Amino acid sequence: MSVRRSSYVMSGESFFEPGVPIYVNRAFETFELTEHSHEFIEITYVSEGAGVHYIDSEAVPVEHGTLFFIPVGRSHVFRPKTLKKDRPLIVYNCLFPAVYLTELRAGFPEAADICELFTDERLPWLSMKDATGEYQAMFREMYREFSAKPPGYLAVLASLVMRILTGLYRHRLQLGTSNGDRPQWLTVDEAVAYINRNYATELKLGELAAKANLSARQFSRLFQRQTGMNFTDYVQSIRMDAACRLLTGGRSSVGEIAAAVGYADLKFFHRLFKKKIGTTPKQYRKMFSQG
C-alpha cells in the first residue's frame, strides 16, 4: 500500500485552546490522511487494531499496545492493516508544544534529566510496547480528564504526561545497556511486568531471579524494597485483584475463577480470599451486585 507523501505541516493553532497547552483525542486511522509533520510533540498509543506507522521513511508494524514519541518535525502517518469496519485501527493522541516540557521541568524539578532528553532536537522518534496495559490505562484517564475538564484536570494531565515520559526515558536507558550493566530497578520492573501478565501461571522466585542474573536472596531483597511486599504477597495480591474483577464482571463460578487466577485448590483460594479481601468470594459478589 503506497503512502501519499505531503509537505503538510500541522499547526498547533488547530488544536490548543488558550491556557490549555495540551490536546488529547482518540482517532480512527484511515487511508485519507496524508503523511505529515507537526509543529508540536506527539505521543501516540495504539489502543485497538493493527497496521503500519510510516515515520521518517520507515514502515513500522504496529498493534495494540504500541507507544510512540514523535518529536517536532518528524514526518509520519498511520495506516490500518485492513479496511474492515469491525477491525479498526484506533489510536490515542496526546499533543503538546515543545515549550510545555519547560513547564513540566519547572513543575517537576526532580525530572530535569527526563525533560532535557525530550527537548533535545537531535532526539529521534521512540517506540516501545506496553507489556502490562498500564499505559493504556493512563491514556484512557488522560482522554477522560481532557474531555470532561473537571477541576484540577490540567494538573492531572501534567502528571500523566510526566509518567509516560518517564516510562519512555527508562526504555531508552534500557536500550543503551547490556544485560550485565542493567540497573537493578529495571530487573524488578521487568519481573513485576511478567507477574502482571502471567499471574495465572506457576510463578517461582528463583526462576525470575535467574532471568535477572541475580541470586534468589538478592532478587528477593530488591523486590521487597521496590514493591513494599515480598514475592509471595505480591503474586497473591495481583491474583486477588484479578479474582475480584472476575467476580464482579461476569458469571463464572467461584471454582472457575479460582482456576483462572492460578489456584487449583479451591479451599486454599477461599481461605486466601477471606484473608486478603475480608469476605468470602460469594459475599464479595453479592455485596457488589447490591451496590
Domain map (residue ranges) of the chain: 9-175, 179-228, 233-289
Select from 245, 180, 189 the least CA-distant residue to 213: 180
Decide if pLDDT at 3 tops 60. Answer: no
Cell of 202: 506457576
Please name the amino acid found at residue 94. Answer: C
Judge whether 199 and 239 are in contact, CB under 8 Å.
yes
Determine the average pLDDT of the residues in 207-221.
Answer: 88
Determine the average pLDDT of the residues in 109-136.
Answer: 90
Angle, helix 184-198 to helix 153-175, in steps of 10 degrees: 110
Determine the average pLDDT of the residues in 222-228.
Answer: 90
Backbone angles phi, psi at 85, to 5 degrees: -70, -25
Check the CA dihedral 251-256-262-268 and report its sign. positive
Residue of higher predicted confidence among 16 and 197: 16
Cell of 146: 481532557
**pLDDT for 83:** 79
Residue of higher predicted confidence among 85 and 220: 220
**pLDDT for 1:** 45
Decide if pLDDT at 183 tops 70. Answer: no
Decide if pLDDT at 291 tops 60. Answer: no
Decide if pLDDT at 163 tops 80. Answer: yes
Give how far Cα 203 sits from Cα of 8, 152, 239, 279, Å.
51, 41, 12, 26
Parallel, antiparallel or unpaired: strands 66-70 and 41-48: antiparallel
Q: Find all residues with CB under 8 Å of 115, minimum gap 6, and list them.
A: 101, 102, 104, 105, 108, 165
Q: 233-289 in CATH: which number?
A: 1.10.10.60
Backbone angles phi, psi at 60, to 5 degrees: -105, 115
**pLDDT for 169:** 92
Specify the 3-state DSSP secondary structure of 82: coil
Which tens digits make up the pLDDT trace of 244-272?
999 998 889 999 999 999 999 999 999 99
Decide if pLDDT at 126 tops 90. Answer: yes
Q: What is the pTM of this model?
A: 0.70
> What percent of the chain has a predicted confidence (pLDDT) above 70?
93
**pLDDT for 181:** 58
Task: Give the model's confidence band at 2: pLDDT under 50 very low, under 70 low, under 90 confident, else very high.
Answer: very low
Q: What integer best gives the mean pLDDT of the chain?
A: 89
Question: Does domain 9-175 correspond to CATH entry 3.20.20.140?
Answer: no
Determine the average pLDDT of the residues in 202-227.
Answer: 89
